[in-house]
Amino acid sequence: MTAHVVNPSAAERTLARQFAEQERREPSPARAAAFARFAAAGLPTRRVEAWHYTDLRASMADAAPILPAPTGADIEAARGWLAGRERFVAGARLVLLGGRFIAELSDRLPAGVSIAKGPAAAAVDDPLADLNAALSPPGCTISVARDAKVAEPITLVHLANEASSHSVYSRMEITLDAGARASFVELFEGGHAGVQRHAATVLILAKGASAAHVRAAAGRG
């Protein structure tokens, strides 16, 4: 039997270089294992059932540079952008800048809700879930306590206002304990043709819990 070998695409080669650079700075066995799983599968094509209508390998010509961690100036610019937009957000607002949770730009959460850095790795059999786990900056977990009933939605604002082409990775886990009820709105701001967003939001609901989740994307403006 002859093995079918597929040469890595330009995007896959760039992703491998990006991961190697990250590993030199911050070695992580867990991230290395995730990237190894991604590399073994590669970018999905229509042959993968979950991607039957999207040939990502063919449509992704290359991977854009990963947006670096925000500087103090970036955070202050984001603060200015957010000013005056509070009226568009009901309930508490949590801000992610370049895929990273920024506590000083975020609101206090309602009773029964907490946030902590470092979401647990969810076992999802998908090459892009592995790619996200390998290249995302440290994520966070939002936890809703047992039987908590959160009246207003919690809004997650994803900001990335860099004008040049870039990719943004982020990872968020939302966990609702038994009987909890909450709703979440994710707003992605700063998009343009050169942006490649890779956002993983994992919802884990215990028995009797209920969650509503809405996503919306907007262009730069």
The answer to whether residue 76 sits within a structural domain is yes
Q: Do residues 139 and 171 make contact, with C-beta atoms less than 8 angstroms apart?
A: yes
pLDDT recorded at residue 15: 97
Number of domains composing the chain: 1
The answer to whether residue 115 sits within a structural domain is yes
Strand order in the sheet with 181-191: 100-101, 93-97, 154-159, 181-191, 210-219
Residue 1 reports pLDDT greater than 60: no
The answer to whether residue 167 sits within a structural domain is yes
The answer to whether residue 12 sits within a structural domain is no
The answer to whether residue 87 sits within a structural domain is yes
Chain segment 44-102, per-residue pLDDT in tens: 988 888 888 888 999 999 999 999 999 999 999 999 988 877 766 778 999 999 999 99
The answer to whether residue 90 sits within a structural domain is yes
Measured between alpha carbons, how far is 86 from 84 in angstroms, rounded to an integer?
6
The answer to whether residue 186 sits within a structural domain is yes
Chain segment 117-170, per-residue pLDDT in tens: 876 555 677 899 999 999 999 889 999 999 999 999 999 999 987 778 899 999
pLDDT band at 6 (very low <50, low <70, confident <90, very high): low
Measured between alpha carbons, how far is 203 from 180 in angstroms, rounded to an integer?
13
Tokens 């073994």 -> residue:
40
The answer to whether residue 60 sits within a structural domain is no
The model's pTM is 0.87
Measured between alpha carbons, how far is 157 from 177 in angstroms, rounded to an integer?
24
Residue span of the structural domain in which 69 resides: 65-219
